[in-house]
Structure 1
Amino acid sequence: MGNEQVKSVKEEKTLCLCMIVKNESRIMERCLNATKSIVDFVSICDTGSTDNTPEIIENWCKENEIPGTVHHEPFQNFGYNRSLAVSLAQKTYPEADYLLILDADMILEVDPNFDKTSLTEDHYLTLQYDVHIKYWLTRLLKASLPWKSVGVTHEYWDIDRSKVGENYNTRVARLETLVVNDPGDGGSKADKFERDERLLLQGLSDPETTPDLHIRYLFYLAQTYFHLSQFEDSIKWYKKRVEAGGWVEEVFYSLLRIGFCYEQLANRAANKQHEVTEADEMENAKTQEEQYSALAIFYFQKAWEYRPTRAEPLYQLARMYRLKSQNNIALMYALQGKEIPFPKDDLLFVDYHVYDYLFDYEISISAFYIPHKKHLGAVSQKFLESKKEELPLHIANMVESNAKFY
């Protein structure tokens, strides 16, 4: 019996929640509550809150009888501060086996089958999702290893090889039993993209930035300009990222986003036609709209040609041609895209709605206008009606409205 008890103790694993936070009083308790069932320790770095975020954390730990510490360290950049947070967690709770890395605006979803005793790898990727996309990120780190967060923002985790040797290969696995819901409603999001622009431009100009990190910064600077609706700048940096080569998923997504950018510029030109009064200005805006629209189509096609296992470009093409009332072409792209399964092995920004119902939505509309293909539309319409309760409200309303045509 004694030996069995020793074995059981050895197999038990403990988790320490490790975070950096600032002014998250509105949502801090929500994040903590979601982790309560699996964390054994809490170590959080506050980077300068002016609200009562630190007190909320300390009170929560006391109320739930979970050992917790709030450290106070000024913000420099995300890589520096996340690395520091991990180091402080390791020093404060050396008995922890793994560190759980979250942001305050994230909600951890714990599957009943999650088992701490089964954790053996150096780090684990967990699925993360928001209202549009799903992707995999490192969220669990083995606490005994010398981790560092690499990058000024949009950082990633790596081992400090000066402490373990250059030949050390980290062992990684996907963990299906923890999922991160990312509503993106954190207190530090108000100036997120302006802050990211500043940090990324500094990183790109830093002579010590490694070539791989430089390529990563190109991508995320393009992403930043996209979210700032600075589409010309976004196109410029996405094209630089494509030219740099490397990780195929990032190159694919850059091509896809270039298509989005050109479509947004086409929409701006279309709107301008209603704002100007001079005939030549209207004609120039119309020409711009046509040129940008053609470029959007070109880059969506290029994205699919580059990575034909991803269906998102085909959905965008189906949607664009349907909006142009070119229904035969729209249906062609939608039917082709519907054949592509969800890319479960891809890590980066998969638009899961495309694979779930959006092709059927396109087919239900485009096929209606093609007499000998209307039966395909009826099948898709029936499918959409069967899952109407699961659809976003605006799609569900359109499905209900379209039902009368079938």
Structure 2
Amino acid sequence: MITLSLCMIVKNEEAVLARCLSSVKEVMDEIIIVDTGSQDSTVEIARQFTDKVYSFPWVDDFSAARNFSFSKAAMQYLFWMDADDILLPQDRENLFSLKETLDPSIDLVMMKYHVAFDGQGNPVFSYYRERMLRRAKQYRWQGAIHEAITPEGNILYSEIALTHRKIGAGDPDRNLRIFEKMIKEGKKLVPRENYYYGRELYYHGQYQQAAYILSRYLDTPGGWIENQITACQDLANCYYHLGKPQQALDSLLRSFSFDTPRAEICCDIGKHFFQQEKYAQAAFWYETAAKRPKEERNGGFIQPDCYGYLPYLQLCLCYYRLGDLSLAKEYNEKAAQCKPADPAVIYNRNFFSSLDLEK
């Protein structure tokens, strides 16, 4: 059986740290906590779970702190989490099993990361992250913000998932502030940093500047395909906010130059035409979305609802607007197969029943 070191960086996480560590402590052979300047009871809570609690001065660089946490580990594999993550019981059992069966030649294990959920708690937005790493490979984090480790070596993709359960808003301006500091200090942002900088500008409502940065990112070689496709979506949203729907559509279509059409993009294009009341065109794109395979993407973002439920629900609306009540009902029932208790599905079913009663 392989051994695991949990390596975490924390700051002012008293609201969530015990929840996180309680969910994972039984499966870890060692817990490393690196505090970057907490002013609450984070450190005291951490010491209830481990005596390996270290202090690291915050220098506006997440990679520096994470690499420090890795340097303190002694087990065969390194496992990282954020304080607002949890390991659900079934995933914990699966991780126990993985410890017992993992081929020690595996260098890196990619695991799912669930970050958004529907009203029933089902994941609606997930992606893979480099989660468990063989210590002997000496992997290094890179990037001051949205830090990452380049997956390389003998890689295993696992269905084990971590669940992100954030409490509170945190500091919404932190990342943008760090990017602006880097730029002021004359640092040239690499493509990945430009991508995330553009996204931060978009989140802060600076749509004109965000569009400029995202466009420049897409024009620069060296970007990761998954980021390029998501950048097309973000750029489209900037143009919608700027009142430029045609440029928004052009941005979505541009994603096809990077890879085959994704259901997420097809749904966005369907929404574009639906909002323009071009229901036949909207239906074409929602039907295309429903037919796209949901492929694992080496860390790319996946919105599961776009591969069935959402296009079916929107096709119900499209065909109702087009006057095809039978097909509208059929697509609502297809959406019901994906989410039987969904309020929208139930509302539509009741609405169609009321129409039948009026006949």
Q: TM-score, normalised to structure 1's length?
A: 0.77
User: CA-to-partner distance for each residue in 1:65-105, whole Å, 9 max, x for gaps?
Assistant: xx5411111211101111111112x2xxx2x1111100001
> What's the counterpart of residue 191 of structure 1?
171
Deviation at 1:398, TM superposition (A): 4.7
- From 225, 236, 240, give the equivalent of 1:259: 236
Counterparts of 1:54 and 1:111, CA distance in 2: 25
Query: C-alpha separation between the residues in 2 aligned to 1:126 and 1:139?
Result: 6
Compute the displacement of 1:402 (Å): 4.3
Provide the rounded CA distance (Å) in 1 between the counterparts of 2:150 and 2:287: 42
State the partner residue of 2:215: 239
Which residue is 1:347 aligned to? 299
Distance 1:368 1:402 in 2: 11
Q: Is contact 2:3–2:28 with CA below 8 Å preserved after alignment?
A: yes
* 1:289-300 superposed matches below 5 A: 292-300=244-252
- Secondary structure of the residue aligned to 1:343 is coil
Q: What residue is the counterpart of 1:307 in the other structure?
A: 259
Number of matched pairs: 340
After superposition, where does 1:219-238 map in structure 2 within 5 Å?
A: 219-238=195-214
Aligned to 1:82: 66
C-alpha deviations, 1:168-210, integer Å up to 9, x for none?
x63322122x201123336xx5224x2212322444566776x
Q: Which runs of structure 2 are paired with 1:135-214 in the superposition (5 Å)? A: 135-157=127-149, 170-176=153-159, 178-185=160-167, 189-192=169-172, 194-203=173-182, 214=190
| C-alpha deviation, 1:308, in angstroms | 2.6
Aligned to 2:121: none
1:304–1:313 CA contact under 8 A, matched in 2: no
Residues 399 and 304 of structure 1, relative CA distance in 2, 3 Å threshold? farther
1:323 and 2:304 are equivalent in the alignment: no
2:149 alignment partner, SS class:
strand
Identity rate of aligned residues, in percent? 21
2:331 counterpart residue number:
380
Structure 1, unaligned runs of 5 or more: 1-11, 62-66, 160-168, 267-291
Q: Distance in 2 between matches of 1:331 and 1:214?
A: 39
The SS at the match of 1:345 is coil
The alpha carbon displacement at 1:366 in A equals: 0.4
Name the CA distance, whole Å, in 2 between partners of 1:129 and 1:227: 20
- Cα distance in 1 for partners of 2:348, 2:25 equals 40
The reply on whether 1:108 has 2:87 as its aligned counterpart is yes
SS at match of 1:303: helix
The residue aligned with 1:278 is none
Which whole-Å deviations, capped at 9, do the CAs of 1:197-250 have from their partners, x for residues lacking one? 2322444566776xxx61111101011112222222221111111011332222
Aligned CA-pair RMSD: 2.4
How far 1:351 moved relative to its partner?
1.8
The 5 A counterparts of 1:389-404 are 389=340, 391=342, 395-396=344-345, 398-400=347-349, 402-404=351-353
Is contact 1:15-1:40 (8 Å) kept? yes
Cα 1:335–1:389 change in 2 (3 A) is closer
Give the structure 1 partner of residue 119 of structure 2: none
Deviation at 1:133, TM superposition (A): 2.1
Q: How far has the Cα of 1:396 moved from its partner?
A: 4.8
Which whole-Å CA distance do the structure 2 matches of 1:403 and 1:181 have between them?
A: 37
Q: Is the 8 A contact 2:24 2:87 kept in 1?
A: yes
Which of 207, 210, 216 lines up with 2:192 in the alignment? 216
Contact 2:309 2:339 in 1 (8 A): no
Q: CA deviation at 1:127?
A: 0.8
